[in-house]
Structure 1
């Protein structure tokens, strides 16, 4: 869903990317620093129950991390390795966020909700892997009601408000995330299965070459 606003977001980030590029900071350095900041905020603050301040730190570094693409575009340093690094670091950041939530909830005697946070972590990895593996096999897999950006926004907004004392919001958000992540995995499996079935049917209709 948020992919629809990506062009507008790129127009906003490009001037900022120009300013950052003049500092000499490379896109890959931005990616790594942003990820390390997210991981540090999530793993240092969430386990202590500091959900509001953890969310603030994570959000700041997520916004910083968004500049890597803008800097790459304005400097002409777009590369396949940069795309690989960005995707890999995204998985690291996601794991840190949900691990931090899981530990914080478990320490707060909310074992069930900690388990839901763990499920969100695992299902999020499966959502991303399903798309990557499908594309590696030559299929398209751009489907799903819960892309990474949507899942991250829901988790962070809920964690932030929970830190301000809003009751039940984090519990509701995690259960919703667990549900929509499961649906997204199912959508991607169904999409790839349909493409594989059609490809197999088309191959079976091709005449065998005569000797």
Structure 2
């Protein structure tokens, strides 16, 4: 076993892996002396930062929102590393992390849309609302279809570039670039509305093409 196996999970991809290896791993060992600290505390702290980033976005402070979201993204990698190093991994902790991630992602997207409405950008209000809705739904469905496919042992193809790490990084970068043009986050919104939903559609087509669809489908509450 590699001595650095605590830094990432086998399912981590692309930017998320880079963030964990090069940023989160520098913070995690410094938290080990805090014997009272539990992984779920870090998870909740990260999610609260993510929601706060959305609030800051909505208030019109895009650059600051990007900074808060960046810290949230790094801390989101710390909780799992801390759990692995301290032997406190649990399915309940992984579930909590996944659920709170969706709240943080949703808050950031809503804040992004409110920010763009207030500027305003040369895009109709109805289109901003449609793009925002697609972004929230698409981001959640990328994560949901990944988990659901694993549970059903379905092959969804190669790892997607529309992972949480990529989605968050693009939002953060465009928020920082708002210093050059305050409408720059519209690029992130368009990407978040199109790419994740395209990935979901491709996954649906792939599973049905492979014969995993019509017969034996089960409903879900």
Q: TM-score, normalised by structure 2?
A: 0.77
Deviation at 1:76, TM superposition (A): 0.7
Q: Distance in 2 between matches of 1:14 and 1:167?
A: 33
Q: How many residues align?
A: 198
Moved more, 127-136 or 46-55: 127-136
With over 3 angstroms needed to count, the CA separation of the structure-2 counterparts of 1:22 and 1:156, relative to structure 1, is: same
Deviation string, structure 1 residues 24-74 (Cα, Å, up to 9, x no partner): 31111100011012212321x111211011111221222222210110111
Moved more, 28-37 or 178-187: 178-187
Deviation at 1:185, TM superposition (A): 0.8
- Runs of 5+ unmatched residues, structure 2: 1-10, 216-221
Match status 1:3 vs 2:13: yes
Q: Distance in 2 between matches of 1:52 and 1:120?
A: 20
Partner of 1:128: 143
Q: Distance in 2 between matches of 1:116 and 1:4?
A: 25
Checking the alignment, whether the CA contact within 8 Å between 2:19 and 2:74 is kept in structure 1 is: no
Match status 1:150 vs 2:136: no
Deviation at 1:199, TM superposition (A): 10
With over 3 angstroms needed to count, the CA separation of the structure-2 counterparts of 1:100 and 1:70, relative to structure 1, is: same
Partner of 1:36: 48
Checking the alignment, whether the CA contact within 8 Å between 2:142 and 2:200 is kept in structure 1 is: yes
Q: Specify the SS of the correspondent of 2:13.
A: helix
Checking the alignment, whether the CA contact within 8 Å between 1:144 and 1:183 is kept in structure 2 is: no
Deviation at 1:188, TM superposition (A): 1.5
Q: Distance in 1 between matches of 2:168 and 2:23?
A: 21
Among candidates 177, 181, 192, match of residue 161 of structure 1: 177
Larger Rg over CA atoms: 1
- Runs of 5+ unmatched residues, structure 1: 201-211
Partner of 1:141: 156
Over the aligned positions, Cα root-mean-square deviation in angstroms equals 2.7
Query: Relative to total residues, which structure has the larger helix share, 1 or 2?
Result: 1
